[in-house]
Amino acid sequence: MFAHHCTACDRRMLIFPGQILSVREHEDGLAYQLECWCGAEQTMIEPLLSEAPVERSAADRRDAARVA
Ligand SMILES: [Zn+2]
C-alpha cells in the first residue's frame, strides 16, 4: 500500500495492491501501472530500494551529529 498523487482527480490517494494493474522494470526503478479510485489509469515510478536506505541512514547520522 502506498500513496499516489493522481493526475486525473488531483488528489493524493492510498493505493492498495488490488489496484495495481502491472509492474514493469523501468530505468529509474519499477513502473507501477495502477487504477486510481476515480477510475483513471496512472503510472508511478518507484525508485529501486537498494540505494535508498543507505542514503537515508547516512542523512540520519548527519542529523544526529548536528543535534548532538
Ligand atoms: Zn484519481
Q: How far, in Å, from the CA of 51 to the mean position of ligand 1? A: 30
Closest CA to 44 of 11, 9, 10, 7: 7
Q: How far, in Å, from the CA of 6 to the mean position of ligand 1? A: 5
Residue of higher predicted confidence among 44 and 51:
44
Instruction: With beta carbons less than 8 A apart as the criterion, state whether 44 and 34 touch.
Output: yes
- In the chain, the number of structural domains is 1
Residue 12 carries which side chain, given as an amino acid letter?
R
CA–CA separation, 67 and 14 (whole Å): 34
Is 34 in a helix, a strand, or coil?
A: strand
Q: How far, in Å, from the CA of 32 to the mean position of ligand 1? A: 15
Residue-range definition of the domain harbouring residue 38: 2-67
Residue 38 has pLDDT above 80, yes or no: yes
The pLDDT tens digits for 4-29 are 999 999 999 999 999 999 999 999 99
